[in-house]
């Protein structure tokens, strides 16, 4: 560490280290088993989201606004797990906790880019359910494939711009003291707080990101469901209400798995002291568990996807039987 600090140029005001050191869990025996558990989650998430992506891409009957949203969510889940967990395996299981400065910023960008896309995708899916239940007769004129495709193109472009700006502003910071990142990846907050010059713009942008990707989406989703529940109250029969509400179950479960852990962590961190190890365990689970659960939720709660999976298995079994004969 001292050798790295000694290599800093002395004649410039902005000082970047050659490497950062990611601390991870410390003082916990058998911590490797936790990372192995995360790798199991990664394995399930990659397979599950790959199945969902393949089914929606190959079956033309699922090329509808709702499933375009599900496809984008699965794509963001797939991207986030691949940006986060393989790097964690390399860092902690193979004792390679030093990461180059440029690689750190690249890792930071992709983790937050895909995570932010998840948040806004859930808002679009809430909008889809809002229009479907509150304005059913106008659904196909308001929400169509072209409109949804344009919305998601705008979301991906906006997220790429804002997260790139957030990451690039790290280059304006000087790191002349510690290079130890108290996290399990190149986390934005622990990195910019290491700076020894003014990091107020980074702090402001971090708060903007929290507002845009945590607070605002949750408020919009809650308001949309208040309107949905109001519309459901006008349906005269319980059978009609339950039938309409059933179309929202998958989305509500996705919202719960995505936001509840992060909100609990945020409230705990702002109201009480959260030890570094507790923060690492809780935030890592909050990041990696939803991408594993999302495809399971959709497969179990969506009749179209279940039927397609059954058809594929029936075709394969009949093909195997014909070959064996």
- Helix axis angle for 200-210 and 145-168, nearest 10°, is 160
Given this model, what pLDDT does residue 26 score? 80
Tens place of pLDDT per residue across the chain (325 aa): 444 444 444 445 788 999 999 988 887 877 888 888 988 999 999 999 998 898 888 888 788 898 899 999 999 999 999 999 998 888 888 878 899 999 999 999 999 999 999 999 999 999 999 999 998 889 889 999 999 999 999 999 999 999 999 999 999 999 887 899 988 899 999 999 999 888 999 999 999 999 999 899 999 999 999 999 988 888 878 888 888 888 888 888 889 988 888 888 878 877 887 788 888 888 888 889 999 998 888 776 666 666 676 666 666 666 555 666 5
Beta-carbon contacts of residue 252 (< 8 Å; ≥ 6 apart): 225
Given this model, what pLDDT does residue 150 score? 96
Given this model, what pLDDT does residue 320 score? 59
Whether 8 is covered by a domain: the verdict is: no
Q: What is the pLDDT of residues 66-115, one digit of tens each?
A: 889 999 999 999 999 999 999 888 888 887 889 999 999 999 999 999 99
DSSP string, 186-198: --HHHHHTT-SS-
CA distance 145 to 60: 12
CA angle 160, 164, 166 (to 5 degrees): 125
Whether 224 is covered by a domain: the verdict is: yes
Whether 312 is covered by a domain: the verdict is: no
How many domains are there within the chain?
1
Given this model, what pLDDT does residue 43 score? 93
Given this model, what pLDDT does residue 9 score? 45
Q: What is the pLDDT of residues 154-164, one digit of tens each?
A: 999 999 999 99
Whether 141 is covered by a domain: the verdict is: yes
**pTM beyond 0.75, yes or no:** yes
Whether 324 is covered by a domain: the verdict is: no
CA distance 246 to 257: 18
Whether 311 is covered by a domain: the verdict is: no
CA distance 78 to 151: 20
Which residues form the domain of 111?
15-305
CA angle 10, 12, 14 (to 5 degrees): 110
CA angle 313, 317, 321 (to 5 degrees): 170
Given this model, what pLDDT does residue 325 score? 57
**CATH number of the structural domain spanning residue 116:** 1.20.1070.10
Whether 219 is covered by a domain: the verdict is: yes
Task: Using CB atoms within 10 Å of the CB of residue 289, give its burial: 0 to 12 exposed, 13 to 18 middle, 19+ buried.
Answer: middle
Q: Is residue 99 helix, strand or coil?
A: strand
Tokens found for residue 113: 């880019």
Whether 149 is covered by a domain: the verdict is: yes
Tokens found for residue 16: 């970047």
DSSP string, 100-123: EHHHHHHHHHHHHHHHHHHHHHHH
């Amino acid at each position: 560490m001292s050798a790295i600090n000694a290599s800093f140029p002395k004649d410039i005001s902005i000082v970047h280290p050659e490497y950062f050191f990611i601390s991870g869990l410390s003082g916990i025996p058998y911590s490797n088993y936790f990372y192995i558990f995360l790798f199991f989650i990664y394995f399930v998430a990659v397979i599950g989201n790959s199945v969902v992506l393949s089914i929606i891409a190959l079956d033309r009957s699922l090329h509808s606004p709702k499933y375009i949203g599900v496809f984008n969510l699965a794509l963001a889940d797939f991207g986030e797990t691949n940006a986060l967990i393989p790097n964690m395996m390399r860092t902690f299981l193979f004792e390679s906790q030093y990461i180059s400065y440029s690689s750190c910023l690249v890792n930071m960008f992709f983790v937050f880019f895909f995570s932010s896309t998840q948040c806004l995708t859930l808002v679009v899916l809430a909008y889809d359910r809002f229009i479907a239940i509150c304005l059913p007769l106008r659904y196909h004129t308001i929400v169509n494939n072209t409109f949804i495709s344009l919305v998601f193109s705008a979301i991906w472009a906006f997220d790429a711009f804002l997260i790139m700006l957030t990451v690039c502003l790290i280059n304006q910071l000087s790191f002349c003291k510690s290079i130890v990142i108290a996290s399990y990846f190149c986390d934005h907050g622990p990195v910019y707080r290491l700076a020894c010059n003014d990091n107020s713009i980074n702090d402001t942008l971090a708060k903007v990101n929290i507002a845009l990707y945590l607070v605002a989406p949750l408020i919009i989703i809650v308001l949309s469901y208040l309107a949905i529940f109001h519309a459901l109250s006008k349906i005269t029969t319980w059978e009609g209400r339950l039938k309409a509400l059933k179309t929202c179950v998958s989305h509500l479960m996705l919202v719960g798995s995505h936001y509840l852990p992060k909100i609990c962590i945020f409230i705990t961190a702002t109201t009480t002291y959260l030890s570094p190890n507790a923060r690492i365990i809780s935030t890592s689970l909050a990041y990696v568990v939803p991408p594993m659960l999302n495809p399971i939720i959709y497969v179990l709660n969506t009749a179209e996807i279940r039927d397609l999976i059954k058809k594929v298995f029936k075709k394969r079994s009949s093909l195997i039987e014909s070959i064996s004969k």
